[in-house]
Amino acid sequence: MSESIKHECGIALLRLLKPLSYYREKYGTALYGINKLYLLMEKQRNRGQDGAGVVNIKFDVEPGNRYISRYRSTSHNALEEIFQKVNSRFVELEKNKPEKFADAEWLKKNLAFTGELFLGHLRYSTYGKNGIEYCHPFLRQNNWMTRNLVVAGNFNLTNTEELFDHLVELGQHPKEKADTVTVMEKIGHFLDEENQLLFKQFRKEGHTNKEITSLIIQHLDIPKILKDATKKFDGGYAMAGLIGHGDAFVLRDPNGIRPAFYYADDEIAVVTSERPAIQTAFNVPLEKIKEIQPGHVLVIKKNGKISEHEVLEPKEKKSCSFERIYFSRGSDADIYKERKNLGVELCPAVLKSVNSDLRNTVFSFIPNTAEVAFIGMMQGISNYLDGWKTTEIRKLFSSKASDHPLAEMMDEVHEIVSFRARQEKIAIKDAKLRTFIASDSNRDDMVAHVYDTTYGVIRKGIDNLVVLDDSIVRGTTLKQSIIRIFDRLGPKKIVIVSSAPQIRFPDCYGIDMARLGDLVAFKAAVELLKEKYKENLLEEVLEKTIAENTKPSAEIRNVVKEVYKPFTPQEISDKITQLLLPANINAEVQIIYQSIEGLHASCPNHTGDWYFTGDYPTPGGNKVANRSFINYMQGKNVRAY
């Protein structure tokens, strides 16, 4: 993605199933847990760079001693800052008292982050709140061990206000209308209720208070707590939680919008947002890593028992396709194949755009995350060339075989067989320059120089330049920078190819695309309506969106789709090209998008495509789409949820 879109978050939950001394003896360090947590988070760094946080819980600690440790940071190098802080005490101890550093039991009693249960979080802020108080994991403290709650997750809820009002009805006084606070307090409320019910039950049976605590630890029903707490949640989420005594859980939304994977053996249990993190950290084969099913919770009890339970009725699976296109690391085996397939799917449209003139076409990609789709596109071009070569050789033999010896035709055969499509690294991002751009003054001029270009490979006025991008959301960077710098190279035609379809609708499940008016595809549709004197359709849709959003949530339809209905995808693409074309460009410019059919063929198991089609998996999504349109029409530059 050549433009910066904040998105998603990453989680890493790790439970050590053996005593620390076991890891000390087998792996040579009692810090096995914290070291693995760092690796799990480092391998998901792509999922969050606005902040990070880690929590550790120690089991069976004597009263009067701290058993929950937490560090959070919002610095630009949050991960390094946190783990340097964690490790500083270990480094000092190893230097000054190596015998104590080698003593796993002493470490657990005396130093933080030497417990059995870890939770890490990497954060992207999707709506601009970057203070430490917004950094996961969140902690709800209580003197009762079984009422302490830690929560971190990759989630966005569309109905936070409704849930907030319900908390107020319960008699609570939440400090903020944020989904993080709402989630914490909803789960916390039912955790308290479950504790109270169990306390009364065991007290009635004649147990002492101390005995009751142990019995609550054994009988705390995590699935029941979450079923009660989340039944009204509308959104996409993978929520991880820890209870102070040592139970842990990860809950996934009923549509499986947000990802969550896990692995367990006799030494560890681990959950992450991305599968390769587990594969790398623990050298685990792909087939042993499981996916938490939609609407299910993975529970890891303090006693080490691991189980998966249905908490919410699973609905049609609509896993986020943007995970496959861009967000997740391409090192996942399936994602790698799918991104290549996205590139292959684009080949017919690309060949048509350059009239199949591959001798005079150079292929490239921008940014680096588009490389895998680019590999796929070039494989598709290579497959096309294989067919072309076969046809050309047949023509050659049929026209000359009768009166030309084979030896005389070999030069021509060799020329045909050796022909390859030209691919070059045309644009390189200047990361240092990008971080330097801090103020709005002269920003456009600076942005135009964020990318360096490779000179001398494009033949001026002769070559077409085809460049693949992950996706085009707003198009700002294309207009202000990329098209201009490519035009300086002198190509006859510039073709920008998006491996994602047109982004037409706002997201409300974790991607920073909440304002409809920001989307270049929407701007294109509005311009087309104006050109064709159909602008009154916007007022009609406004009336409908207002009416729809007064209905019960389950009945709300996304009527913003009607804005796009009069136009074909090609008409929208052509208008986007016009909107993003800078002044004084010499080359012909064309923008090509992936088709919805190509997306589904490439990513058959991730059919969540609401930002492309407007088909939201939850009622709250339809309401957000309508609200976003209302905001646009009323001139309100605010998020729709």
C-alpha angle with apex 57: 56 to 61, nearest 5 degrees? 140
pLDDT tops 60 at residue 6: no
DSSP state, residue 135: P
Structure confidence at residue 182 (pLDDT) = 86
- Cα atoms in the 13 Å half-sphere on the side-chain side of 269: 19
413 vs 395: CA distance, rounded Å:
11
Which segment of 128-132, 278-282, 324-328, 614-618 scores lowest on mean pLDDT?
Answer: 128-132
Structure confidence at residue 64 (pLDDT) = 93
Structure confidence at residue 176 (pLDDT) = 67
Hunting for tokens 């996934």 — which residue is that?
Answer: 252
DSSP state, residue 563: G
Q: Is 127:514 a contact under the CB 8 Å cutoff?
A: yes
Of 184, 141, 139, nearest to 160 (Cα)?
184
pLDDT tens-place string over residues 114-172: 999 999 999 876 555 667 888 899 999 999 999 999 999 988 898 888 877 777 787 77
Mean pLDDT value across residues 600-606? 97
Mean pLDDT value across residues 610-626? 97
Largest interatomic CA distance in the chain: 108
Q: Is 108:20 a contact under the CB 8 Å cutoff?
A: yes
Structure confidence at residue 435 (pLDDT) = 41
Mean pLDDT value across residues 93-111? 96
Which segment of 382-386, 436-440, 562-566 scores lowest on mean pLDDT?
Answer: 436-440
pLDDT confidence band for 49 (50 / 70 / 90):
confident
Instruction: Name the residue with higher pLDDT: 438 or 249.
Output: 249
Structure confidence at residue 513 (pLDDT) = 79
pLDDT tens-place string over residues 322-372: 999 988 888 899 999 999 999 999 999 999 999 999 999 999 999 888 999
Mean pLDDT value across residues 176-184? 78
Q: Please report, as a single letter, which amino acid is at residue 519.
A: L
Mean pLDDT value across residues 276-305? 98
pLDDT tens-place string over residues 500-523: 999 999 999 988 777 899 999 999
240 vs 313: CA distance, rounded Å:
19
Of 145, 133, 396, nearest to 246 (Cα)?
145
Structure confidence at residue 432 (pLDDT) = 52
Mean pLDDT value across residues 385-410? 81
Alpha helices in 205-327 (DSSP H): 209-219, 222-230, 275-282, 321-322
311 vs 251: CA distance, rounded Å:
8
pLDDT confidence band for 465 (50 / 70 / 90):
very high
pLDDT confidence band for 389 (50 / 70 / 90):
very high
Structure confidence at residue 488 (pLDDT) = 95
Q: Please report, as a single letter, which amino acid is at residue 54.
A: V
pLDDT tens-place string over residues 14-40: 999 999 999 999 999 999 999 999 999
Of 34, 24, 44, nearest to 278 (Cα)?
44
Q: Is 295:310 a contact under the CB 8 Å cutoff?
A: yes
Most confidently predicted of 132-141, 170-179, 253-262? 253-262
Of 478, 513, 431, 468, nearest to 8 (Cα)?
513
Q: Which residues pair with 517 in a beta bridge?
A: none
Pairing of strands 117-123, 51-57: antiparallel
% the chain with pLDDT above 90: 77
pLDDT tops 90 at residue 441: no
324 vs 321: CA distance, rounded Å:
5
Structure confidence at residue 167 (pLDDT) = 76
Instruction: Tell me the pTM.
Output: 0.92
% the chain with pLDDT above 70: 93
Tokens describing residue 588: 């012909």
Residues 6 or more apart whose Cβ sits within 8 Å of residue 47: 8, 9, 10, 122, 124, 154, 273, 274, 327
Q: Is 582 exposed, middle or buried (0-12, 13-18, 19+ CB in 10 A)?
A: middle
Structure confidence at residue 1 (pLDDT) = 47
Mean pLDDT value across residues 206-215? 95
Structure confidence at residue 8 (pLDDT) = 60
306 vs 300: CA distance, rounded Å:
5
Average pLDDT over the chain reads 92
Q: Is 127:593 a contact under the CB 8 Å cutoff?
A: no
351 vs 479: CA distance, rounded Å:
24
12 vs 153: CA distance, rounded Å:
9
Distances (CA, A) of 120 to 182, 267, 269, 381: 20, 19, 14, 43
Instruction: Name the residue with higher pLDDT: 281 or 452.
Output: 281
Instruction: Name the residue with higher pLDDT: 639 or 36.
Output: 36
DSSP state, residue 448: T
pLDDT tops 50 at residue 385: yes
Structure confidence at residue 92 (pLDDT) = 96
Mean pLDDT value across residues 182-186? 90
C-alpha angle with apex 4: 489 to 74, nearest 5 degrees? 140
Structure confidence at residue 161 (pLDDT) = 82
Structure confidence at residue 434 (pLDDT) = 46
Q: Which residues pair with 395 in a beta bridge?
A: none
pLDDT tops 80 at residue 272: yes
Residues 6 or more apart whose Cβ sits within 8 Å of residue 16: 23, 32, 33, 116, 117, 267, 268
Mean pLDDT value across residues 562-589? 98
pLDDT tops 60 at residue 384: yes
Instruction: Please give the domain boundaries of the chain with CATH numbers for all domains.
Output: 9-317 (3.60.20.10)
